[in-house]
């Protein structure tokens, strides 16, 4: 039976009707196809697909567990420092920029043209919507939030409050690994969880001043010591396995939410993905409830302590609450300690501070084992920098570690971040119609700034100097890497001889963007450097890290908030 609309029409009219429908559908299809920006390379296959480049990214995610390599490989595929992609159906083109000088220029000098946009904020918006990382710079809340936490990265706070906590928790890790190397006879064991636990112990201590009863590493030590005659389980690959204690409930909740946040970076529509997961995952909802209760309890305890005038400022939370007290007194109002912004700033401080440091340390441990000459040279440099501690057979003090410069320590740390940066892609959005490498860029265009691959670990993709922005041509603050060895792990590339003949560390030796740059760079950058410097120094001071077999030292990675190694095994000998 013919559709009612066709009843009474001639055959010619019916044919015309169907042709019109097909033509309309075809025109709608052509209209919906991605529209490229003129002159910027792209994949023809994506141009002719309603989903753009999304199918390729989904396939990569399914096969490898990561999507960030797509942004590194795409410019190399086209041999162009600027390429365009489409991140889904009916989306405007996004750009991938694989050039340090232009990326640096955008982040440092073109902040009125480029800022954090929805692509940045959407991943965080469901998890910590009231944290400054989830806000554009023009957001009226942003300035107040940054004011709340601005002193947490000052030298005084870092050295007086953060550094002692980092030192104490790192020494717990040293004690744990000393025990494991004794029990396991220097056989390799998986260190990833220990590094994760030590990093969460550190950030919780810095954030809340938590005591040892909330330390996962301390509890692990006590558990091993409580088992006389214990020996780890041998594995077929030559490694051994130590038992892991159940994660403390509050830590487990933080971990699950952190993993959930990492998943948002791989989701095409993060806000929708967050709502769906919250609705379908009872354990995730319970973790949020536990996290909220944990913050309430710790804040309430700190408020009582601060009002009694006890202990002064011993954590980031104390500092934030004291600032709220002072602001309330100045405004003649009651302080609001359980505001969404205080809760989210504290929780974001934990998650971001833990994940970047934990990942960076995992790669550093792998690198010092893989490059024994650099490890030996670093240990010698540390002994020369702290001669009294070495002569007396003791640990360098926390003041020694943050006060005395050790150029080769900084060089090893920076080289590890260059080779294996935790976050190899930074994102910005055009706030106005502008230009990039000679191409017209409309307002609202997302730009992925790549800090891996060309210019960083392999030769740059050539760019005509005339195509660069005027500010990029005028100001060249950084050097460049030697193309013949930039693929190698070589800490010496970060050292130079000053006018007095001293070997010094030069942070501007060449392209580097591990923690982004500029006013919207990583807020916790100084804390991350302080933590990794103290942890790396104490680990190399106490242990020799042996090179492992290929089966235990894979450099493959997966994506969460950061780029994590699948394998992080260590084989240790205590250094005397």
Same domain, 116 and 193: no
Q: Encode pLDDT of 354-394 as tens digits.
A: 888 999 999 999 999 999 999 999 999 999 999 999 999 99
Distances (CA, A) of 259 to 254, 263, 466, 562: 9, 6, 44, 10
pLDDT over 70 at 15, yes or no = no
Q: Which helix (H) or strand (E) holds 424?
A: none
Q: In what order do the strands lie in the sheet with 233-234?
A: 233-234, 240-241, 189-190, 569-570
Adjacent-strand bridge partners of 441 = 434
Residues 277 and 324 in one domain: yes
The stretch 52-64 carries a mean pLDDT of 90
Q: What is the pLDDT of residues 316-331, one digit of tens each?
A: 999 999 889 888 889 9
Q: Are both 330 and 451 inside the same structural domain? A: no
How far is it, in rounded angstroms, from Cα 21 to Cα 189? 65
Closest listed residue to residue 469, CA positions, set 148, 176, 225, 109: 109
pLDDT bracket for residue 183 (50, 70, 90): very high
pLDDT at 473: 87
**Boundary (domain end) residue, out of 466, 491, 526:** 466
Which residue would you say has higher pLDDT here, 267 or 116? 116
Does residue 260 fall inside a structural domain? yes
Radius of gyration, alpha carbons of the chain: 27
Question: Are 335 and 192 part of one and the same domain?
Answer: yes
In a domain, 504, yes or no: no
In a domain, 544, yes or no: yes
Task: State the Cα angle at 58 between 53 and 59, rounded to 5°.
Answer: 100
Query: Residue 568 pLDDT more than 70?
Result: yes
Per-residue pLDDT at 61:
87
| DSSP code per residue over 139-192 | STTHHHHHHHHGGGGSHHHIIIIIHHHHHHHHHHHHHHHHHHHHHHTT--EE-H
The CA–CA distances, whole Å, from 153 to 150, 156, 284 equal: 7, 8, 31
**CB hemisphere CA count around 54 (13 angstroms):** 17
For residue 477, name the pLDDT band (cuts at 50, 70, 90): confident
485-521 burial, b at 16+ Cβ within 10 Å, e below that, comes to ebeebbbebbeeeeeeeeeebbeebbbbbbbbbbebe
12 lies in some domain: no
Tell me the two tokens of residue 31.
């209209």
> Which pLDDT belongs to residue 344?
92
Could you tell me if 325 and 438 lie in one domain?
no
Q: Is 66 contained in some domain? A: yes
**Six-digit token string for 171:** 């020494």
Give the range of the structural domain holding residue 329, as residue numbers without chain letter. 151-423+514-574
Supply the pLDDT for residue 342: 92
Question: Tokens 């020996």 identify what position?
Answer: 231
236-283 tens-digit pLDDT: 999 999 998 888 888 888 888 888 887 887 777 788 888 888 888 889
pLDDT at residue 8, rounded to an integer:
58
The CA distance from 41 to 316, in Å, is 47
Same domain? 254 vs 323: yes
Quick one: 411 exposed, middle or buried, by C-beta within 10 A (0-12, 13-18, 19+)?
buried
Candidate from 108-117, 304-313, 354-363 with smallest mean pLDDT? 304-313
pLDDT on residue 118:
73
Which pLDDT does position 85 carry in this prediction?
96
> What phi and psi values does residue 536 have, to the nearest 5 degrees?
-60, -45
CA angle 448-449-453, nearest 5°?
A: 115
Q: What is the torsional sign of CA 360, 362, 365, 369?
A: negative
Beta bridge partners of 573: 544
The mean pLDDT of 95-106, rounded to a whole number, is 95
pLDDT score for 11: 67
Whether residue 556 contacts residue 566, with contact meaning beta carbons closer than 8 Å, is answered with yes
Same domain? 137 vs 217: no
Mean pLDDT for 6-12 is: 60
pLDDT tens profile 17-42: 667 677 766 566 566 778 999 999 99
Among the residue ranges 117-121, 432-436, 509-513, the one predicted with the least confidence is 117-121
Same domain, 376 and 453: no
The reply to whether 398 and 460 lie within a common domain is: no
Q: What pLDDT score was predicted for residue 332?
A: 92
| Residue 518: closest CA among 116, 83, 60, 8 | 116
Residues 6+ apart with CB under 8 A from 295: 343, 346, 347
* 419 annotated ligand binder: no
pLDDT for position 181 = 94
- What is the pLDDT averaged over residues 275-301? 90
Residue 264: per-residue pLDDT = 80
Same domain, 343 and 419: yes
**CA-closest candidate to residue 106, choices 481, 495, 557, 451:** 451
pLDDT at 308: 81
Lowest mean pLDDT among 67-81, 209-223, 478-492: 209-223
How many C-beta neighbours within 10 Å does residue 328 have?
Answer: 14
pLDDT of residue 499: 87
Q: What share of the chain is helix, strand, coil (3-state, %, to 5)?
A: 55, 10, 35
| 189 contacts 240 by C-beta, under 8 angstroms | yes
Instruction: State the chain's mean pLDDT as an integer.
Output: 89
Q: How confident is the model at residue 413 (pLDDT cuts 50, 70, 90)?
A: very high
How many separate domains does the chain show? 2
Domain-located, residue 139: yes
**pLDDT at 538 (0 to 100):** 98
Higher pLDDT, 165 or 88: 165
| Model pLDDT, residue 5 | 53
Diameter of the chain measured on Cα atoms: 104
Higher-scoring residue by pLDDT: 544, 7: 544
pLDDT tier for residue 4 given thresholds of 50, 70 and 90: low
* 60 or 33: which leads in pLDDT: 60
Residue 212 and residue 309: Cα distance in Å, rounded?
23
Residue 515 scores a pLDDT above 90: no
Is the pLDDT at 66 greater than 90, yes or no? Answer: no
452 lies in the same domain as 411: no
Contact 187, 239 (CB under 8 A): yes
Q: Tell whether the model's pLDDT for residue 55 goes beyond 60.
A: yes
Q: How much is the average pLDDT of 137-147?
A: 88
The answer as to whether 31 is a domain residue is no
What does the pLDDT average to over 540-557?
94
Distance CA 565, CA 133 (A): 25
Q: Report d(CA 176, CA 542) in Å as an integer.
A: 12
User: What is the pLDDT, as a whole number, of residue 432?
Assistant: 95
Both tokens of 411, joined, read: 């060089």
The CATH number of the domain holding residue 410 is: 1.10.630.10
Instruction: Looking at the structure, tell me whether residues 179 and 118 fall in a common domain.
Output: no
Tell me 266's DSSP state. Answer: T
Answer whether residue 503 is part of any domain.
no
The angle at the Cα of 402, spanning 399 to 406, to the nearest 5 degrees, equals 120
């Amino acid at each position: 039976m013919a559709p009612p609309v066709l009843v009474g029409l001639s055959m010619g009219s019916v044919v015309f009707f169907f042709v019109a429908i097909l033509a309309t559908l075809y025109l709608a299809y052509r209209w919906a196809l991605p529209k490229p920006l003129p002159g910027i390379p792209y994949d023809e296959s994506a141009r002719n697909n309603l989903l753009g480049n999304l199918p390729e990214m989904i396939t990569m995610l399914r096969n490898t567990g990561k999507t960030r390599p797509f942004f590194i490989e795409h410019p190399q595929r086209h041999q162009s420092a600027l390429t365009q992609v489409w991140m889904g159906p009916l989306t405007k083109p996004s750009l991938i920029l694989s050039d340090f000088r232009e990326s640096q220029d955008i982040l440092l000098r073109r902040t009125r043209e480029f800022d954090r946009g929805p692509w940045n904020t959407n991943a965080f918006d469901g998890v910590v919507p009231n944290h400054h990382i989830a806000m554009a710079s023009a957001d009226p809340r942003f300035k107040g939030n940054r004011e709340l936490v601005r002193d947490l990265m000052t030298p005084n706070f870092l050295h007086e409050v953060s550094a002692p906590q980092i030192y104490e928790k790192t020494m717990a890790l040293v004690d744990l690994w000393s025990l494991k190397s004794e029990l396991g006879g220097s056989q390799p064991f998986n260190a990833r969880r220990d590094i994760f636990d030590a990093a969460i112990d550190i950030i919780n201590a810095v954030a809340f001043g938590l005591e040892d009863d909330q330390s996962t590493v301390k509890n692990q030590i006590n558990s091993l010591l409580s088992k006389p005659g214990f020996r780890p389980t041998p594995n077929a690959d030559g490694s051994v396995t130590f038992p892991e204690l159940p994660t403390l409930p509050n830590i487990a909740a933080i971990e699950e939410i952190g993993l959930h946040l990492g998943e948002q970076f791989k989701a095409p529509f993060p806000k929708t993905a967050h709502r769906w997961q919250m609705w379908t995952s009872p354990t995730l909802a319970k973790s949020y409830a536990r996290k909220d209760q944990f913050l309430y309890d710790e804040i309430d305890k700190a408020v009582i302590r601060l009002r009694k005038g006890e202990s002064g400022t011993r954590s980031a939370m104390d500092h934030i609450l004291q600032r709220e007290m002072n602001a309330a007194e100045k405004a003649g109002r009651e302080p609001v300690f359980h505001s969404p912004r205080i809760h989210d700033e504290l929780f974001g401080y934990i998650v971001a501070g833990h994940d970047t440091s934990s990942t960076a340390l995992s790669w550093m441990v792998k690198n010092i084992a893989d490059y024994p000459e650099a490890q030996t040279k670093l240990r010698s440099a540390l002994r020369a920098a702290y001669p009294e501690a070495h002569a007396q057979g003791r640990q360098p003090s926390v003041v020694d570690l943050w006060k005395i410069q050790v150029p080769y320590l900084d060089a090893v740390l920076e080289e590890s971040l260059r080779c294996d940066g935790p976050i190899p892609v930074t994102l910005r959005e055009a706030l106005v119609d502008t230009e990039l490498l000679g191409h017209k860029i409309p307002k609202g265009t997302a730009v992925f700034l790549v800090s891996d691959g060309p210019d960083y670990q392999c030769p740059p993709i050539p760019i005509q100097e005339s195509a660069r922005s005027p500010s990029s041509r005028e100001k060249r603050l950084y050097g460049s890497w030697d193309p013949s060895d930039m693929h190698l792990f070589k800490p010496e590339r970060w050292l130079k001889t000053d006018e007095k003949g001293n070997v010094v560390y030069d942070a501007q030796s060449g392209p580097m963007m591990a923690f982004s740059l500029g006013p919207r760079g990583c807020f916790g950058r100084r804390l991350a450097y302080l933590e990794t410097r103290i942890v790396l120094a104490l680990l190399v001071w106490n242990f020799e890290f042996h090179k492992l077999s290929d089966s235990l030292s894979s450099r493959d990675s997966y994506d969460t908030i950061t780029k994590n190694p699948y394998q992080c095994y260590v084989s240790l000998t205590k250094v005397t």
